Amino acid sequence: MIEQSGMPSSKEIGHPQTRTVDSLVSSFKKMAFQARALAEATDILEEMVRDKECVRILSLAGALVPGGLRSLIAGTIRHRIFDIVVTTGANVTHDAIESLGYHHLVPKKLPSDAALFKSGRSRIYDVLIPRAAFMALEKQVGEVLDSLQKTTTASMFLTSLAKRLKDRYSILAAALESDVPIFCPTLVDSALGVMLSTQEEDKTIDSFKDRKMLIERLWESKTSGILILGGGAPKNFAFQSMEVTSKGFDYAVQVTTDRAEFGGLSGASLSEAISWGKVKKDAKTMEVFCDATIAFPLMIAALEERLSESFDIRGA
């Protein structure tokens, strides 16, 4: 039975005052529901970052770059908050086209989708991207392919692409400079993948070598942690790689708006992952049910406040 002594009261957050993000996030610990989930997730991230032996994965799905999280993600890579990135193809595609000078646009008023198509812009919920961006990217991809061997891997292809991007806010460039590998199991399923499929050079991407690299990296790790934004193939790829090692993650935080009751992976609980050996049975885990465009900046800004003395600020 629980004891009341030692049980902290679910006190309200104080009256709002000009305050830092972390003072707000930390006050969430005395609340309930998703505010508390977010606070506890931030604590787990902090512990994971302070664990010097921990290999930390950032798993990215959803339109995070169009959503505006690009430079924040790049910053977490430069600070080595994360050691490995696993991502959908869309996020690296949109990262690269931003580096080529094509930005996601916010219209004052949304035209119809038929009008948008006609005008050469395409929509991602409430932002637009000019389709010319993809033609510019295709030119780059051609040059990258020329420099590559007949059979390559998704991570090697992305490294070569990154070398051509001079952009300190780019995820790809930050990863290259920080020696952080980017795994992209679904590269084929993205605009980059379409470009690679229709190239004439007949170069091939070996999808399996990257998998082996990730498994080896996890095998060698002493402890390991993961922050999952959105779920999808990157979550599955990281979790199944861990399953092979028979070790399980020590820390796992998932930010999702999906739910468990429909059985899909993106909403699957971190507890369920314990039954697969993907997460350790006594791991520190938390799920936060919130749009990542809100939750991720809050967690990272709070984290940076807590870690600022130990951060290599020059890195960012």
**Segment holding 259, helix H or strand E:** none
Q: How many residues bind a second copy (CB under 8 A)?
A: 135
- Using CA atoms, how far apart are residues 45 and 145, in angstroms rounded to an integer? 38
Contacting a second copy within 77-96 (CB under 8 A): 88, 90
Region near a second copy per CB under 8 A, out of 43-51, 159-167, 220-228, 252-260? 252-260
Contacting a second copy within 31-60 (CB under 8 A): 31-38
Q: Which of 150, 203, 222, 278 is catalytic?
A: 278
- CB within 8 Å of 294: residues ≥ 6 apart: none
CA neighbor of 25 nearest in space, from 300, 314, 312, 309: 300
Q: Which of 42, 155, 224, 236 binds a second copy (CB under 8 A)?
A: 236
- Using CA atoms, how far apart are residues 82 and 75, in angstroms rounded to an integer? 10
- Using CA atoms, how far apart are residues 241 and 55, in angstroms rounded to an integer? 14
Does 178 interact with a second copy (rule: CB under 8 A)? no
Q: Which of 149, 166, 208, 312 binds a second copy (CB under 8 A)?
A: 208
Contact call for residues 186 and 87 (beta carbons, < 8 A): no
Does 205 interact with a second copy (rule: CB under 8 A)? yes
Q: Which of 57, 59, 62, 140 binds a second copy (CB under 8 A)?
A: 62
Region near a second copy per CB under 8 A, out of 26-34, 42-50, 156-164, 218-226? 26-34
Q: Is 90 helix (H, G, I), strand (E, B) or coil?
A: helix
Does 181 interact with a second copy (rule: CB under 8 A)? no
Beta bridge partners of 55: 224
Contact call for residues 88 and 232 (beta carbons, < 8 A): yes
CA-to-CA separations, 71 to 108, 166, 245, in angstroms, rounded: 24, 14, 32
As measured in angstroms, the least distance from the Cβ of 243 to a second copy is: 8
Cβ-based nearer residue to a second copy, 12 or 53: 12
Determine whether 278 is an active site residue. Answer: yes
Cβ-based nearer residue to a second copy, 148 or 169: 169
Cβ-based nearer residue to a second copy, 53 or 313: 313
- Active-site positions? 278
